[in-house]
Structure 1
Amino acid sequence: MKRPAALTGVLALVLALSACARMPTDGPVTEVQTSTVSAPRAPFDFDPKPPQPGESASEIVAHFLEAMKARPITTSVARQFLSEEAQRDWRPDDAIVTYGEIGDPVGGDITVQVPMATINEYDDRGAWQRSRDAVSLQLGLTSEDGQWRISEVPDALVVPESWFEDSYRRASLYLFDPTTSILVPEPVYIPEGDQVASSLVPGLLPSEGTDPRIERTYFPEGFTSAFSVPITSAGIAKVALDGDPAAVDETTSQLMLTQLIWTLRQEPRIRAVELTIGDRELGLPGGATQVDLDVGSAYDPTGAQSTGDVFGLVDGRLVRGTVASLLATTGPMGVERLGVRSIGVNLEGTRVAGISGDGSSVIVAPVDDDGPAEQVVSGASDLLAPAWDFADRMWLVDRAGGRARVLVVNGAQARAVQVPGVSGRDVEQLLVSRDGSRLVAVVSGKDGDRVVAGRVLHDERGRVLGATRARTLAYEPDASGQVRDITWRTPTAVSVLSDINEDLSQVRTVSVDGAPGEIVTSGSGRVRGAFRSLVGSPVEGAEVYAVAGEDVIDLTAPSRQLGALPSGLTSLTYVG
């Protein structure tokens, strides 16, 4: 069983220090090209020195922290700075703590404190947990054979943020939603290099930090993974688990393989996966034990049946197609002007929801088929554009004069969902992930706009139970404090559009888990023009557009000439 992801051991020894100086967060802004993708920095090998005879307590602590920066990543030298008992008990794989700045060790010989600023904490899977401004790392020491050694140490790897950025990469663990209908990606950070597959597999094992109302894994309780996942020259990843093979029936084995395939396909060297439990090889029906990477496509978190078309309104009528070729639809909203001001389309592209011109009601109609346009919500105050998830649920926000209500519509039934940090606030925009597990919103306040995200809670039948408290994402608006628009870029990241001045806009991409730092993708950075909306999709390779009236650019290919949008085009959007 994996240890809880609450960082208990770390937090017991890491104490807040009000005297620590906060690191500066302001600096000059440099313009970047709109199609830039940052290349990973190649870390240099570092072989730290072990303890030297006669080192003081403070020197032992300083050199212990230095030893944790070893490359390739290893804690074998760092462990030599510990007492014999601490060496046996220390579990640095339980958590990661990163710091932006570190002070000199202070204190006596028995207890030494190290002031640190700009702290981020990650659990044993590499999932970000929280940030702190300033802490003090407290370590206990003892004397062994006349030499100082550390006897009390947190169960964590404690390293500089810059080292972490160079040594770890962003990835996802793929779990199932509570209904086992779709995969839910969870962002984590894993070591670069040959350890990618070996670092990902343990994260699929059951963890006490997993909320069954959000996601579930089909890897049974009590199973453990081998220390490494070898990859053959043919690209076959060989995953070995210790556990009772009889505990895994055929259905469970197929779901385990689906999770493995989606998780390990992030390693470019892997072409197929073999899974062994004890002495039993698991495979596909029919006996094949080498499982290709296309298995499990029906559980795609972006929607297996989703269309790549964009949709919009031209003079109040629904159109669909590509940005360069938008064609009239044949359903009620394409044939008639029904007086809607914004739209949202379900993932299959078969049903469209339109918000009435006064924002008080919602009309749902077929996109291209004959059939009636039906009003499903009425009596609202000021509805934002709808969002849809994989279960064909529609999500709405009634702004209600700065006291927003979040609504979920299933069929013809609408009910309010309490989302702490969103409900009752001044909400300007709402996104829902296609897998139905996340809500992202722009919340306006006296200090400017914030981008927040929460998790949607479901039962095993798919009924929405509520949501977790929304946490503020790692995004700070520019001088205006205003967010113009947000859109999905991946299933776990959103792009945010804001103004720099009248001639420049800014596009930044951030993780929905709240982890620090900007995700640099094609289309991130400054964009020349006063753009007002983004049109994006979580599907890999989908174009992302910035729109201002009839002007449009493709952020993923800025040199591409698109021409002007049709006159009277509004509410341009992908499905979802």
Structure 2
Amino acid sequence: MGADARGDVRGRGRGGRALVLAACGGLLATGCATMPDSGEVQGVRGANAGDSQVRVYAVAPRENANPDEIVDGFLEAMTSDDPGFATARKYLTRKAAKSWKPEQSITVLGGTAPDREQADRTANLETQGRTYPISGRRIAVVDDRHAYRPTVPEEYAQAIHVVQEPTAGGKDKEWRIDDLPPGLILGEADFLRNYRSVNTYYFASGENWLVADPVYIRQRQDPVTRMDPVTQTVKALLEGPTPWLRPVVDSPYPTGTGLKEDVTTLTTDDQSTLKVPLNVKADRFGGEVCRRLAAQLLVTLGDLPSVNVDQVELLDAGGKGLCRLGKGQAEEFQAVRETGRDEAAYFVAEDGRMMALAPSGKDAAQSAAPVPGPLGKGTVPLGAVAVTHDGALAAGVSKDGTALHVSSLTSDQEQAQTVLRSRAGAGARPEDRLSEPSWDGRGDLWIADRAPGHQRLVVVPGGTGKWTEVRARWLTEDTRVESLRVSADGVRIALLITRDGRTTLQIGRIEREDGTDEQVVSVRDLQPVALRMESVSAVSWAGPSRLVVVGREAGGVQQIRYLQTDGSTSATSVLPGLNGVSAVAAPHRENQPLVAASRNDGIVRLMPGANWQPVVKAGTAPVYPG
């Protein structure tokens, strides 16, 4: 196998197998897998993870191929773009080829583990065939709805079994695979080369703004559906939200709505309008329903680099236009509206005052100023702060963690309103009292009270109303919420939770239901995110479905990286190193700088494509609105 100038990779049979493995990326580790004559599965180095320019072309089995070559060739063929995985099926028995469903799931493996057994070479090959163990560390599974779910890295132990099957003419026999694990098995590098994360968007239940739901689609044409990436994305959206998010989002279109049959390619016209033919009749699609679906499609397709869509037009089953929506009209459905202004960052000064960080500036005198009102005057020394998405209100937790205060940032009011006090006793440590606060896009204020024996999550409607204790069955006596950050859409919450001496990052789903006297709010179904990190010390939302996480891998140094809310990552997600980071804050838009607090450098800022730059010599708890 060799790679030509276009990045294509073609198989050249058993003699070129070493080059095949070196070029095409990883099955069991970061490289493709091979089946050497000894029968053990070994991992070798492969192409750079996520190199989508490299294409692998599968090679059919040669005549009279031995069992090793059959298993080897099949593992390679699973990494290819072969339509229908037709070549991969040639390595299977006729029965197995019909029953194998590569679209059923994807098992993602990273790293290798020593095989506990070799291929069974003591069996009677004529009657029993041969079993080849496959081992590695399973790090994730992608289901048939394209949802990525990370797993605690664990040993993956499955097997491929080969037997001799009569050829079509019935005179000879050829080795073929008759038993294999379900779906596709890909190494992390091959997975990132073949698939990309895309945000599909659905409406928050009962609301008028959109929530991101990340899924994975093929980088190029899907081998099974033959759809291009744009069509795959539209299809994934119309199939509905992933199971985890489904309880808190709505899809306005009628059940059964999908693409018109046999549509595999969608392209824009010369006015950057994408026409989407649906399988529904016009009388089933009201004007507002059509408009909201068009908004979902516009925002979703904005995440695809391969297409520039300025307008979406939906067509009914007869080709008649149902509605058309442009980017400007879709803006009203965003959880965070575009204002055209730079996002402001805030932090707490050494003396406990709340400070606003200027968009530019080189030293403390030029870079920061106290906010208007009592929180900027230092009347109550603060330890952590938060600001509403519209910049109108600020919340501050006292430096000793005893009280939560709220004040206007648009008027110079005399005194902040105290909306909550910790249940911790007088001798408690600040870290055993109130956590840092966070605002969601609805204008509600969230905080955790970490009082031993009285731990609770609390939401304050509007930031100034009567606080409500959040239902959280997972919050037991041995569980401690170190910090929290609520998404702008108000349906997800990022939590740093300490249990058994280890701090992990979990994403919870926020559910709201109307009770007799007031709304009942719950946080349910926590999902681990940063499973490869031994501990996590800080987190911030960085847009609709991305997080910036500060943590440490086992035996490693502290690092700052981007993670998707589904736990997936990419080879380019690690940010420049920074020592002693205690907090990090990310803007909603990618073109604005990250801000962090470093024990060595104070408040620092990271512009896109640059390195960290000190801004204020002393300060803590940086935040962007949210």
The interval holding the TM-score normalised by the smaller chain is: 0.7 to 0.9
SS at match of 1:466: strand
- Residue 209 of structure 2 is matched in structure 1 by 182
Cα 1:231–1:415 shift into 2, 3 Å: same
Specify which of 129, 132, 144 is matched with residue 149 of structure 2.
129
Amino acid at match of 1:352: A
Q: Which has the larger radius of gyration?
A: 2
Amino acid at match of 2:435: L
> For 1:39-60, what per-residue CA distance to the aligned partner results, in whole angstroms no more than 9, with x for missing partners?
9524433322224444566654
Q: Choose 78-87 or 99-108, whichever is displaced more.
A: 99-108
- Residue 531 of structure 2 is matched in structure 1 by 474
Q: Choose 539-548 or 318-327, whichever is displaced more.
A: 318-327
Decide whether the 8 Å contact of 2:382 with 2:397 is kept in 1. Answer: yes
Superposition deviation, residue 575 in structure 1? 0.8
Amino acid at match of 1:136: Q
Superposition deviation, residue 557 in structure 1? 4.8
Alignment of 1:238-317 (within 5 A): 238-268=275-305, 269-272=307-310, 273-282=312-321, 284=323, 289=324, 291-302=325-336, 308-314=343-349, 315-317=351-353
Superposition deviation, residue 222 in structure 1? 1.6
Q: Which runs of 5+ in 2 are unaligned?
A: 1-39, 222-227, 362-366, 425-432
Decide whether the 8 Å contact of 2:66 with 2:175 is kept in 1. Answer: yes
Cα 1:163–1:463 shift into 2, 3 Å: same
Alignment of 1:216-231 (within 5 A): 216-225=250-259, 226-231=262-267
- Residue 536 of structure 1 is matched in structure 2 by 586
- Residue 11 of structure 2 is matched in structure 1 by none
> For 1:163-197, what per-residue CA distance to the aligned partner results, in whole angstroms no more than 9, with x for missing partners?
11222222211122112332111222222246321
Superposition deviation, residue 245 in structure 1? 3.3
- Residue 508 of structure 2 is matched in structure 1 by 454
Superposition deviation, residue 430 in structure 1? 1.3
Superposition deviation, residue 73 in structure 1? 6.4
Q: Choose 253-262 or 125-134, whichever is displaced more.
A: 125-134
Q: CA RMSD in A?
A: 3.7
> For 1:99-144, what per-residue CA distance to the aligned partner results, in whole angstroms no more than 9, with x for missing partners?
3459776587478564232222101232212434313146697845
The percent of aligned pairs where both chains have the same amino acid is 21
Alignment of 1:58-137 (within 5 A): 60-71=70-81, 74-84=84-94, 86-100=96-110, 101=112, 106=120, 109=128, 112=131, 114-119=133-138, 120-131=140-151, 132-137=154-159
* Separation of aligned partners in 2, 1:23 and 1:333: 60
Specify which of 353, 358, 362 is matched with residue 322 of structure 1.
358
* Separation of aligned partners in 1, 2:62 and 2:436: 65
Superposition deviation, residue 574 in structure 1? 0.9
- Residue 230 of structure 2 is matched in structure 1 by 197
- Residue 169 of structure 1 is matched in structure 2 by 196
> For 1:399-418, what per-residue CA distance to the aligned partner results, in whole angstroms no more than 9, with x for missing partners?
22387422122142222224
Cα 1:551–1:39 shift into 2, 3 Å: farther
* Separation of aligned partners in 1, 2:58 and 2:218: 19
Decide whether the 8 Å contact of 1:23 with 1:118 is kept in 2. Answer: no
Cα 1:222–1:484 shift into 2, 3 Å: closer
Superposition deviation, residue 75 in structure 1? 1.0
Decide whether the 8 Å contact of 2:458 with 2:468 is kept in 1. Answer: yes
* Separation of aligned partners in 2, 1:115 and 1:451: 31
- Residue 11 of structure 1 is matched in structure 2 by none
- Residue 27 of structure 1 is matched in structure 2 by none
- Residue 466 of structure 2 is matched in structure 1 by 413
**Greater RCO, 1 or 2 (C-alpha within 8 Å, sep 6+):** 1
Pairing 1:572–2:615 present: no
Cα 1:223–1:84 shift into 2, 3 Å: farther
SS at match of 1:213: helix
Cα 1:498–1:83 shift into 2, 3 Å: closer
Count of aligned residue pairs for this structure pair? 528
Amino acid at match of 1:322: A
- Residue 493 of structure 1 is matched in structure 2 by 546
Cα 1:443–1:56 shift into 2, 3 Å: same
